Amino acid sequence: MAFSGMPNRHTIILMQTTQSRGSRTFQDYDSISRAMDGICNFYERKLREIDPTNQHITYDISDLYNFIDGLADLSALVFDHNIQAYLPHDRQWIKQKAFQHLKRLATNSSRHG
């Protein structure tokens, strides 16, 4: 599902988890929504590493924001079809999109649950 009727926009998430340059990585996704899923899934994997016995991972948006803020670096490159180029977005933009994404998921699950 794309945001606000936009066509799916290829999104590259650039992440550096620690101060070590060796922790730099990237993931690419076919839409902003899938990229936000990817960030949430990465966070959930980290939570499982911390407490492998916990079968039911729960967190709120402030937990996710703290995780995002704790990364050494995080940014997104989103393909803009109008200019045929990637536009850079910062950590704040990612937090905003993650919030919108999780809110949409919660709304959809309450409708279908």
> Backbone phi, then psi, for 25, in 5-degree steps?
-155, 170
Q: In the structure, what pLDDT confidence band is assigned to residue 4 with cuts at 50, 70 and 90?
A: very low
Contact (CB, 8 A) for 27 and 4: no
CATH class for the domain made up of 3-106: alpha beta
- Domain ranges for the chain: 3-106
Phi-psi region of 7 (alpha: psi -120 to 50; beta: other; left: phi over 0): beta
Geometric angle at alpha carbon 15, from 13 and 21, rounded to 5°: 145
> What would the mean pLDDT of 92-98 be, rounded to a whole number?
97
State the average pLDDT over residues 93-101: 96
Which residue did the predictor score with more confidence, 91 or 6?
Answer: 91
12: left (phi over 0), alpha (psi -120 to 50) or beta: beta
110 vs 63, more confident: 63
